[in-house]
Structure 1
């Protein structure tokens, strides 16, 4: 419950709503309010899901960048990198980068 209203305040608000809208209109207003809240929750879930997807994409990009940085560090430290379309264990010959 909202912290400043309390039970007497809620009762007063409900009585005022009943007087303003009448007993026939209150159920319609309640349904409309419920639909609005449901749509809001679904939209918030979509935003959260998109945010999580974007974070996952950023993590993959950071991992790819760190792989590139570590590969260039290995080459600059005098370690040779192999250039092959096959994995290193399957490659029959490997070419080395000039130092």
Structure 2
């Protein structure tokens, strides 16, 4: 996905960034993106990635930008392949 405010802030993203990672085929959800953020305040239900999860009174993902840059090219390549991609998402309820 190459439109929207998250894509436009591409200075945070890896050099090979070609668009946001959009997750399809989630029942009852549309426009689910994988992106950078550290807490629920940074997302409207999008998937945040990080190197560590801290379970304090609000729950935080640590080193989100670093983790995103590390996984982006692998996920984008897999999503664009004939094999497709399956992602397991852990949900945190606080």
Q: Which has the higher helix share?
A: 1
TM-score, normalization: structure 1? Answer: 0.24
Point out the structure with the larger strand share: 2
